[in-house]
Structure formats: structure tokens, C-alpha cells
A and B are shown apart, each in its own frame.
Chain A
Amino acid sequence: MPESTHPQETVTLTIDGREVIVPPGTTILQAAESMGNRIPHYCYHPGLSAPAQCRLCLVEVEGAPKLQPSCVTQVRDGQVVHTTSAKATAMRQGVLEFYLANHPLDCPICDQSGECKLQDYVHAEGRKHGRSREPKRVFGRDDFGGDVLFYGDRCVMCTRCVRFMNEVAQDPRLTVVERGNRSVIDTFFEDGVEGSPYAGNIVDICPVGALVSKDFLHKARAWDLDHTPSVCPNCSQGCNIDLHVRDNRVQRLKPRANPEVNGHWMCDYGRHRYEWINRDDRLRRPLYREGGDTVPGEWGTVLSELLERLEETRPIRAVASPFASTEELATLRRVVDALGGGEILFRSPEADDEIPLPGFPQLARRRDLSPNRRAAELLGMKRVGDAEGRGGLESLADYTGTLIVLGDALADMDEGFGSHAALYLYLGSHPSPAAAKADVVLPIPTFAEQEGTFINVEERVQRFWPGLLPPEQARPAWMPLGAILARLGAGELPATAAEAFLAATELMPELMGLRYETIGTRGAILNEPVLVTAP
């Protein structure tokens, strides 16, 4: 073979009898993972440096005298690796027994139970019975500040938390103190991680129940939680998250890994703003005006009433919310256009500063605190009001045409809002005093209760899925608005969110060519060529 001056492009090795081809520089652990073979590990985390100290990922590499830590051992051509050989298995069993020697085994009262790597690994490969008869070391519980509680006895000393604070948050608040068996994670000062804006992530990356969230403490068992992929609605970064739901309530938000948006992380600002999703004061049924009052009605009758009144021609204006999905906003745009066209205003809150994550520069809590402002802007909607998301609607005070409000709670408006409008349609998820004069009030779900997309600050369109059941008769706004469009002969009534999205792509050239399937769980950048595969 002629000598090649090119750097080698791939490495071929054998792991557990199966050949795998990976780029050079890959570690054995990553190579194994790429073929679905998850080698147990604690200290290794894809978002952090690897100190190779937990010694759980040791594998047998033919030709090496000792077992090798797969998290730092790079692949070599022709390498033969055994992860389940007698030697490797016996070693893992031994290391797991060491982990249990001082572990309190308090799984019944531990929040991590059910999603605990120590439980999982010991269940899979541990000894049936531990041999330790010695007294256990006791550290007790420590308040680390912020949302973080530390149970020292459960700690496996993987130091992920210390490395996260040092390397990613770059806010060194934690360290290992003492040495040997007495070593324990501790804070430098009394306030611990208090005020560190990304500290909540150390709870996520703790493989056991040593670091737990105060907010989630004893709230739910891990196995009772349903996980739904979603997008954090608390700023325009659009961190990928999972909604953890029990009893139709969001119990916590957890970051979902997406290397292009948020890595493995999310900020505490976003993480702890979910309680509003669980509010019980919701709009549950369509309301329509009968005499002086609005009364509950059925979708059918309320809609036909509405459609009849829309047929009269008059000017139209609308107020939208940047918290609504792209599908909802686009359908609103189409309705307004079909009714003769008019201005759509939106208001969105803004923070004073960004809160960056130094170790992962793509991620920051953005100044723009709404998840879908970009979509509103792309749809030609006009931002009004101040940085609190208030004001700017003065021009509507004595407006006499058709007025549609989508999603905006109008918290700064009083009961007289829209009282001069000839037709006032309010679509919202929560009751609002400013909807008092509405002719028709339609209940819509929150982002957590429907399927849809947000477009984030870097123009990435990202899907979210429904994790909760919407209250009673709430329907995504694209549904009633789509019905209006159909009645006006300006389009078809979309049957699904995917169809609503397709209809939106016709309106927004930036979305051209995108489908729900191509967006997937990782999102897609607007205006980027999409690979279309033949059916």
C-alpha cells in the first residue's frame, strides 16, 4: 500500500466481538456507546473532563497488562476490547461492592431511587449479598445553598459536581475536602452555590442521590414520572428540556441533551419557572356573550356564532403573545390577512442582562424572555410595550373594529379593555379580567399541553410535545382559527399540529421545506438547506 500523508480518517476496532469504525481520538467508552454498548461509569460525563477515577469503566484491552479506563483510553486500529469478559465483569462487581461498603442503602427515602446509577449497576451486575460487616462512615446532610441539598453518605465521589462548577459554570464553589475514605464534597463558604445561576445542573449530573433538589424533595418517585420532550419557554434560548409529569402536573424540568443548543445544561432561571403551568384557574370551556354576561357554551355553537359575526366586513387588529406556538401565531396571521389584513401587536418581557454559561458559550439565559418572539417577528408582528411586557396597547382603547387577542394575559389592562370593539375574540389559557368584555372567549392549552414549535434566538425551529392533558375543552388556537379560515374559504382546517405547521411554512419562506419529521427532537436552523430523501 502506498504511504499516505493524509491523517488516518477512521479507526477500526473490535468491542465484544463486534467490529466498530470510529474517528481517531474517540475513546473506547464512546466507541462502545456508538454501538449501543453502554459501559458503566460515574466520573465520566460527556460534558465534562474525564478524571478516570471511578474505575467502573475499566475494560480488558488485549495486549494491555492491566484493565484500561475506557473513558480516557483512545481507540487504536485493530484493538480488541472486552467489556464483559470474566476479568472485566469481576472487576466491576468488585468496584460496585466497594461503592456499597459505605453507602447507606436508604433507597426507600432517596429521591434518586429509580433513576440512580448505583441502583442500576448493582442490580445489573452487583453481588447478591454484600460482605461488609463493618460500621459505615457517616457524613449526614448539608445545605449547599440555592436549590441544592447534599447527602454525603450517598456520594460516590465521582466529582462531577466539582468539575461542573469549575469547568462549565466556571464559578468554583465546590471542592473535595479531606482525603481517602474521609473525602467529602463541600462548599468553600457558607452560602455554597447560592446565587450561582447554573448550579441546578449539579443535581442532574449527580449519578446518585447525593445532590438533590430542594424543590423536588420527596415530591414524587422517579418511576411515577412521565417524561415528555419539550422546549423551555422561559427565554429565547430554547433549551431542550423534558417535562417530568405526575398526576397531570409538571413536577420538575430537566435539561434534555442537545449539543447545538444547550449541551446537557439549563439555567436555574428556566428550571424553576414551571409552577404557572400547574395553575388551576384555567379557561376550560368556550364562553360567549349572551345579554350582558359571557356564558359557557359548546364549541359548535360558539364557533358558528363567531363565524356569523365575522362575516361582516370591518377593520381587524390583533394582539398576539410570543409564548404561543409558531402554528398558532401563523394561523392568526392568516386569519387577520383573510379578514382584510391589519396590524398584529405583541409584547414581550426582556431582562437587563444575558446570563452566559462560560464553559458552554452557545448557551445563555437570553435577554429576550419569551420563547417564540422570533416567529412573531418573522410573521410581521410588531413589538410594543416595555421590558416588563406591559403597555403599548393604548391605541386599542377606543378601537371599534374586530379585535383578536391570542395568548396575551393582558395583565396590565382593566375590565374595560376592548369594550368599544365591534367583535372581541379572546383566545387564552387563563382567565383574565381584560377578557370581561370579550364577545367570545376560547380556551387554549399551554405549550405543555399541545404539540407545536418555537423559533429560538438563533433561528432554530424546535418542536415540543404535549406532556399534560389540556383542561376540559381547551384546544390549540390553530384549531378554531383554522376553522375560521376554512369558513372564510382561505384554507383548510388543519387536523394536526403537523398540518398547521405545513400551512405555516407556506406563509413563512424561512421555514420552507421543513417538516415535523425533519425537525425531529434536535430542531432545525431556518434557511438552511434541508436534505430531502426520496420516499
Chain B
Amino acid sequence: MAYPYTHEKEVRVLSRGWGDPRTRTVEGWKAMGGYTALEKALGMSRQEVIEEVKVSGLRGRGGAGFPTGIKWSFMPGEKKGPHYLCCNADESEPGTFKDRELLRWTPHQLIEGCLIGAYAIQAEHVFIYCRGEFFEATQVLARAVEEAYEAGYIGKNILGSGQDIDITVFAGAGAYICGEETALMNSIEGRRGLPRVKPPFPAAVGLFGKPTTINNVETLSSIPHILNNGGSWYRQWGTEKSPGTKLFCVSGHVRRPGNYELPLGFPLEELIYDVCGGFREGRSLKAVIPGGSSVPIMSAADCEGCTLDYEGVVEKGSMLGCASVIIMDDSTNIVKQVRRMVDFYAHESCGQCTPCREGTQWLARILLRIEKGRGTAEDLDTLLELGDQMTGTTICVLSDSAAAPVASSIQKFKDDYLALIRRGEKVGAA
């Protein structure tokens, strides 16, 4: 079975094995050149592994885009106790569905990446934190881990190298906030999934109070390829500051939504009109959310000339995030879309910080009122001001994420709001 559909402009590095159930097995993965990178890495020094990743310029694929090699180098060089590596597979950002595919189709790619990462940061235990709703993906991954244990890739004395690395597949219970790295650690520890105050940062005080690194599934899945082919090989794609390929999760009003692996710096318009086949008959572009629901909305004008790399999207006033491109055509009621997103955040707020706990709900209720035609012009000021008070005032950035689409949509699609507000005005009212 071929993976639903591909496009000739795609560069399939991570997604090469997708659609082929054989890649789920150790044998299948080895047939594709798997586990050679692990062997190679175990023959290198930890510093050399980190150096290779630094050369590749690989940036964290979970959304923040922090250089992976540098993140690894934050771990204490001298080991005083256990180190941990967490793989964040709690993919729950609305519009994102790349990690699920990586887990479902190429679990050994991830396992290999985890093992190399664990070796680099001297971790003896890797926790792969899977989103609770990923039932099938978790099952596939768990089977793959079991098989890798049997094949001697995980466990005691891996490939005769003297390294002991264990992998635990951990299923969450369905909370978006557990994708936040410190909430994820709390969840693994058996506590409520509440983000922790930083500092201290995980590299100093992380899982079970020990130095910990947290990487995204896609980040770790890229590691075997970088180790196999070298850091400079990875730089043949993408831009100077955003090298490599990236999985783009395209959803919304395009003819062919789906996962596409493209080099970073790919033009947004080409993605929409060429790769994804453009819009339905008679429809045109209205808005794009380029990086999952947490980033500011882009108008059609913003999309002109926008390149999909970390810097290119920032230039247009948004962020690449985890490259979950949500595309909306001119049939979209922006207020309704924003309200649904804010509803999501209100539902998923952990409830620790007051601005987020109360603010997300308040935003959602005002937006619902506007949507139902009972809004006022002052509501827009209130929304903006509440958004302001919710930005930068909380422990994690969930609150900022809820406020961002509201502020950007009012700024860019004010007419949508005003139309709904006017509709609710009584005839003859001033």
C-alpha cells in the first residue's frame, strides 16, 4: 500500500518508509539501512555525536526550533547520577499529525534516534511519552520496542558496546498540556500534568529531579540520517539558519491536505497551489495558520512571498511552530474558527495560572457571544486587553497561545468581527 499520496517536490527522508508495513519490523528497517547509524554512533565519542548534530543545524521540530545539538550540550558533561532522555510524542497541537505517522510507520527510526540521543547525553533511560489518544501508534511503537529489545538494540550492553539503554513507552491520559516538556515530566512521575516553573531548566533538574533532555519525535527521527550521512549532507536542503527537511501537516480547504516532507524554506504559495492542489472551484485564499493553532494567523497578503522556514514565517508576523499549516478559504468564518481554537485552549488549560485559567474561558465566552450576534464593539477592546494580560504572565505559553490567534485575527480580520457585531445591532441603533 502506498502512502496516501506524495508529490514529486517532496524530499522523503523521514517519511521514506511510510505506507510500508515492513518498516515496522527490525528486519524491514534494517533493509532500509536501519540501525547502521546506531552502530556508527556507538563507535564515536559522545562529543563527536553532538558535534555532528550541531554541524547539521537540526532545529527542534516540536515548535520552538531550538538547535538540537546545542540543547544536548547543555547536559552536564560529568555524570553525577542518572540522566534521562524524554521523547515528546504527545502530539496534540490542533492541525498537527506528523508524529503520529512517524510512530505508526517508522517506529524503529525513532527508536534508533532515541538510542543515539541517549548515548550522546549519557542517559540510561529513555521515556517515549505518547499521546493518550494515539492508541494504534502506541501499540505499534510498543511492539517495535519489544522487538528491538529482543534484537539487542535496546537493553544491556547494546551491540556489545557496553552501553545500557532502556526505553519505556509511556502513554499519556489525554491532556494537551502534557506536551509541555515539564508537564510531561510531571506526568511521567505520576503527578498532575502541570508545567513547572523554570528555572531550573530540565537539563539541570528534570525528570525525577535529574538532568533531562526532551526532544520531539521528528527531531529524534532525523538523527539516524544525520549520523549516517553527516551533518553537512543534511544541510543540502533548507536555508542557512533552517537546514534540512520538515514534515508539513497541511489541513483545511485545499484539494490534497496531508503530510508532505519538504525542504525548509519552501514557498508557502507553492505548497498551497502546487503541492496541495489549490482550492475548490471558485474559492480563494483567506487565511493561513502556518504553525499549528498556537501561532498568529496570516492573511492572504501575508502569504505572498512567504517561505516556510523559521525566519521566513517570523518575517511575515507569525511562526513556523511545528509546521502544521491550516489553510482557510474565503468561505471561512474567522470568528468561529478562532472561537473554536480558544475553546480548545480553555478546555486544555491546566488551571494553575490565573491569567490562563480564567482568561482562556473568558475569551471563549466573549467570542461565542460575538459569534451568536450578541457582541459589542467594546468586546474587541476587551479581547485585546485580556490577550495582553495573558501574554508573558504565566508559567508556560499555553496562555500566550490562546491569546495569539485572537489578537492577530482582530488585527487582520476585524471586518469579520464587525460584521457579526453589526448583525446583532438593533435596527435604528446608533
Contacts and interface: CB of A to CB of B under 8 A. Distances in A.
Interface of A: 51-56, 58, 65-67, 69, 72, 90-91, 94-95, 97-99, 101-102, 131-135, 137, 156-157, 175-176, 178-183
Q: Which of B175, B362, B369 has most A Cβ within 10 Å?
A: B362
B359 interface: yes
B190 to A, nearest CB: 13
A167 B395 CA distance: 22
Contacts of B350: 179-180, 183
- The 10 A-B residue pairs with the shortest CB-CB distance, nearest first, are A94-B389, A183-B351, A180-B349, A98-B358, A181-B361, A134-B365, A53-B352, A66-B392, A52-B197, A180-B351
Nearest to B365: A134
A94 B359 CA distance: 10
Contact of A181 (B351, B385, B388): B351
B167 to A, nearest CB: 29
Contacts of A135: 365
B352 A95 contact: no
Q: Which of B175, B388, B389 has most A Cβ within 10 Å?
A: B389
A497 B395 CA distance: 54
B353 A53 contact: yes
Contacts of A98: 354-355, 357-359, 362, 389
Contact of B395 (A52, A65, A90, A99): A52
B328 interface: no
A66 B365 CA distance: 27
Given A133-B369, A180-B360, A183-B357, 6 more contacts: A52-B197, A56-B354, A66-B392, A98-B357, A179-B350, A180-B349
B354 A54 contact: yes
Contacts of B351: 157, 176, 178-183
A180 B359 contact: no
Nearest to A91: B393
Interface in B379-401: 382, 385-386, 388-389, 392-395
Nearest to B368: A134
B9 interface: no
A180 B344 CA distance: 11
Contact of A101 (B346, B347, B349, B362): B362
Contact of A53 (B348, B366, B395): B395
Tell me what chain B mostly uses at the interface: helix, strand, loop, or mixed. helix
B414 interface: no
B244 to A, nearest CB: 29
B177 interface: yes
Contacts of A67: 392-393
A519 B392 CA distance: 48
Contacts, number: 97
Nearest to A103: B358
Nearest to A67: B393
Interface in B319-365: 346-362, 365
B16 interface: no
A65 B391 CA distance: 12
A180 B354 contact: no
Given A55-B394, A94-B389, A132 B362 contact: yes
B395 A95 contact: no
A157 B392 contact: no
Given A98-B359, A101-B362, A134-B362, A58 B393 contact: yes
A180 B362 contact: no
Q: Which of B352, B356, B359, B393 has most A Cβ within 10 Å?
A: B352
15 contacts: A51-B352, A55-B394, A67-B393, A91-B393, A94-B386, A97-B389, A102-B358, A102-B361, A157-B352, A176-B192, A178-B351, A180-B356, A180-B357, A180-B361, A183-B351
Contacts of A183: 350-351, 357
Q: Which of A56, A58, A65 has most B Cβ within 10 Å?
A: A58
Contacts of B382: 131
B393 A179 contact: no
B366 to A, nearest CB: 7
A67 B177 CA distance: 22
A91 B357 contact: no
A415 B239 CA distance: 102
B389 A91 contact: yes
Contacts of B394: 55
Q: Which of A65, A94, A157 has most B Cβ within 10 Å?
A: A94
Given A51-B197, A51-B352, A176-B192, A181 B395 contact: no
Contacts of B386: 94
Contact of B360 (A176, A178, A181): A181
B357 A157 contact: yes
Contacts of A51: 197, 352
A55 B360 contact: no
B196 to A, nearest CB: 9
A157 B354 contact: yes
Nearest to A175: B192
A182 to B, nearest CB: 7
Contacts of B388: 94
Contacts of A94: 355, 385-386, 388-389, 393
Contacts of B353: 53-55
Given A55-B394, A179-B350, A180-B346, A95 B355 contact: yes
A153 to B, nearest CB: 13
A135 B358 CA distance: 13
Contacts of A176: 192, 351
Contacts of B348: 179-180
A133 B394 CA distance: 24
Nearest to B362: A101
Nearest to B392: A66
A55 B392 CA distance: 11
A51 B393 CA distance: 14
B200 to A, nearest CB: 10
Nearest to A94: B389
A262 B94 CA distance: 51
Nearest to A158: B354
A137 B365 CA distance: 12
